[in-house]
Amino acid sequence: MCRRDRRIRCSPCLRAGPPGRFRRRGPPGERAVVAAQPSPSRRSPRPDDRPDDRSNSPAQPGGSREVARIVVLVSGSGTNLQALLDAIDGRGAEEYGARIVAVGADRHGAAGLERAERAGLPTFVCRVPDFASRAEWDRALTERTAAYEPDLVVSAGFMKIVGEEFLARFGGRFINTHPALLPSFPGAHGVRDALAYGVKVTGCTVHFVDDGVDTGPIIAQGVVEVRDEDDADGGAALHERIKEVERRLLADVVGRLARNGYRIEGRKVRLGHG
Ligand code: GRF
């Protein structure tokens, strides 16, 4: 894929939004990536910022279609990563609108890394204990991720809170999936906390990451019923049922963001159509 052909499209309806909400990164003629910004105050200005002046009309049938580059971050089994890989494989990267260019983890031995290696993808590991401070870890994670020039970064079971530098670089295009219906039950124990609270329905939330814990603008949610027997195993079976919904939702949402573009208006995420 020619580098200058990569971009995330925004549909004409989204282009009608406030000026400056979308931007293009990279030198003119080399790269046209259109992505939403979280808010002007959250983002440091970069020298390559300039208005989008390139057509974002969908690719013509038979023509070569540009795809977004995705870096996925994992900590565990990586079944959400696998769902993305399968969705891209199933439709083909061009039709899906994106391809995974690398997978990163915060620890060695994560099964998600093995899935990436089986898929022939480059991987990297950035462990907090390998750095003198959390800020240095964040800078290294930012650099390792940025080296793959992603248009979107997906936290798929990545169990670390990223810092200021990562958000300054990837804010507005950094997506997380959480196994509860936010804003209820944020944090590392969303399934267990929802179960303990006695909710009758829970689910999963795909959202943009901001500087809070699971507080960013919500892109999509899926609902899962809680069963009486879920107490028996501390929520393990419930989490598995949530993950079934979560994997489908994440694969669907990422493809739609990549194919059709999006805009973040305060807390509202507007997906394009196409
Ligand atoms: C998912 O439920 C995710 O929401 C949570 O951890 C789980 C990761 O599962 N943060 P996997 O590693 O993708 O299988």
What would the two tokens of residue 263 be? 């805009």
pTM for this prediction:
0.81
Over the stretch 215-224, which tens digit does the pLDDT of each residue have? Answer: 999 999 999 9
Q: Kindly list the catalytic residues.
A: 178
CA distances from 44 to 164, 168, 171, 230, 261 (A): 11, 6, 10, 45, 22
With a 6 Å cutoff on the Cβ, whether 243 touches ligand 1 is: yes
Q: What angle do CA 216, 39, 4 make, to 5 degrees?
A: 100
Query: Is the bond into 183 cis (omega within 30 degrees of 0)?
Result: yes
Q: Give the per-residue pLDDT at 196.
A: 98
DSSP labels for 44-82? ---TT-B---S--PPPPTTS----EEEEEEESS--HHHH
Percentage of the chain beyond pLDDT 90 is 75
Q: Give the per-residue pLDDT at 189.
A: 97
Strands of 268-271's sheet in order across: 123-125, 98-105, 68-74, 152-155, 174-178, 201-208, 218-225, 268-271, 262-265
Q: Are 32 and 47 in contact (CB under 8 A)?
A: no
How many Å lie between the centroid of ligand 1 and the Cα of residue 223? 16
Q: Are 225 and 165 in contact (CB under 8 A)?
A: no
If pLDDT is split at 50, 70 and 90, which confidence band does 168 have? very high
Q: Please report the atom of ligand 1 found closest to the CA of residue 239.
A: 2
Where would I find the H helices in the chain?
Answer: 12-15, 79-91, 93-96, 111-118, 134-146, 164-170, 190-197, 236-260
Does the pLDDT of residue 14 top 50, yes or no?
Answer: no
For the segment 108-115, the average pLDDT, to the nearest whole number, is 98
Q: Give the per-residue pLDDT at 66.
A: 82
With a 6 Å cutoff on the Cβ, whether 78 touches ligand 1 is: yes
If pLDDT is split at 50, 70 and 90, which confidence band does 55 have? very low
- Give the count of beta carbons closer than 10 Å to the beta carbon of residue 231: 13
Over the stretch 64-97, which tens digit does the pLDDT of each residue have? Answer: 458 999 999 999 999 999 999 999 999 999 999 9
Name the residue at shortest CA distance from atom 7 of ligand 1: 157
- SS3 letters across 30-51: CCCCCEECCCHHHCCCCCCCEC
Q: Give the per-residue pLDDT at 17.
A: 29
What distance in Å separates the CA atoms of residue 96 and residue 101, rounded to the nearest whole number? Answer: 14
How many Å lie between the centroid of ligand 1 and the Cα of residue 243? 7
With a 6 Å cutoff on the Cβ, whether 142 touches ligand 1 is: no
With a 6 Å cutoff on the Cβ, whether 177 touches ligand 1 is: yes
What distance in Å separates the CA atoms of residue 153 and residue 72, rounded to the nearest whole number? Answer: 6
For the segment 233-258, the average pLDDT, to the nearest whole number, is 98
If pLDDT is split at 50, 70 and 90, which confidence band does 103 have? very high
What distance in Å separates the CA atoms of residue 68 and residue 258, rounded to the nearest whole number? Answer: 6
Q: Give the per-residue pLDDT at 274.
A: 65
Q: Is 86 helix (H, G, I), strand (E, B) or coil?
A: helix
Considering only CA atoms, give the Rg of the chain.
18
With a 6 Å cutoff on the Cβ, whether 179 touches ligand 1 is: yes
